[in-house]
Structure 1
Amino acid sequence: MSRIDDLLADEGARAEAYSGGPAPEHVTTSRPNLGRQTVVSVRLAADEHERLSQAARKAGMSLSTLIRVWAVDRLHAEDHGESGTVAERLARLEREVFRRPA
């Protein structure tokens, strides 16, 4: 091996052996998914994956976070009678707003 290969191998071995130790006091750590025990795998077409990835980047979050937020929002909407297409939701709103007193 060359000198650079030896240096890289040595540095790699040291990095692998590094235990980390406690974080400095000024560093805050979090484990936001600690309470989420189930992982769901979803198959997507390449274009669907790309569109979701773009939406996640635009929102400033990871792809999995975006999908989780959208899924939980949908569950919340269904729990509160807010589900349906935009047209269905608009029709429901119009019925409520323009309901004639009996």
Structure 2
Amino acid sequence: MAKTVDPQLISGLREESERTKDDPYPAGTEGKRPNRSQVYSVRLSADEQARVQSVAEAKHLPASTLVRSWILERLDQESA
């Protein structure tokens, strides 16, 4: 599922990034990642990984989003 990005958009974003890279952050801005603070690494066999990827593609989701949703659903079940 390849997507094409407008070359003019890319060029404009690159130019803006270069022009503003040394600008200070706005007052009151904090530099932290929203929502996620811990990364878990999970080992899967090639077959298991392929199965996850297949389900993710069928749902038009990144595999990591699918796996995260499964974990969160299970945590909800466990706390019920």
TM-score, reference length from structure 2: 0.59
* 1:79-90 alignment runs, 5 A limit: 79-80=79-80
The structure showing larger relative contact order (alpha-carbon pairs under 8 Å, at least 6 residues apart) is 2
* Partner residue, 1:36: 36
Paired residue for 1:56? 56
SS in 2 for 1:77: helix
Amino acid at match of 2:61: M
Counterpart amino acid of 1:67? V
Corresponding residue for residue 76 of structure 1: 76
Matched residues in 2 for 1:66 and 1:20: separation?
A: 34
Cα-to-partner distance string for 1:35-94 (whole Å, 9 max, x where unaligned): 1111111110000000000011111110100000000000001111xxxxxxxxxxxxxx
* CA shift in 2, pair 1:46/1:78, >3 Å: same
**One-letter identity of the residue aligned with 1:66:** L
Deviation of 1:34 (Å): 2.2
The runs of 5 or more residues in structure 2 that have no matched partner are: 1-10, 21-32
AA matched with 1:59: K
How far apart, CA to CA, are the structure 1 residues paired with 2:44 and 2:34?
26
Paired residues, number = 54
- Identity %, equivalent residues: 35
Counterpart residue type for residue 78 of structure 1: E
Q: Distance in 1 between matches of 2:40 and 2:77?
A: 21
Which of the pair has more CA radius of gyration?
1
User: 2 CA distance for matches of 1:52 and 1:61?
Assistant: 11
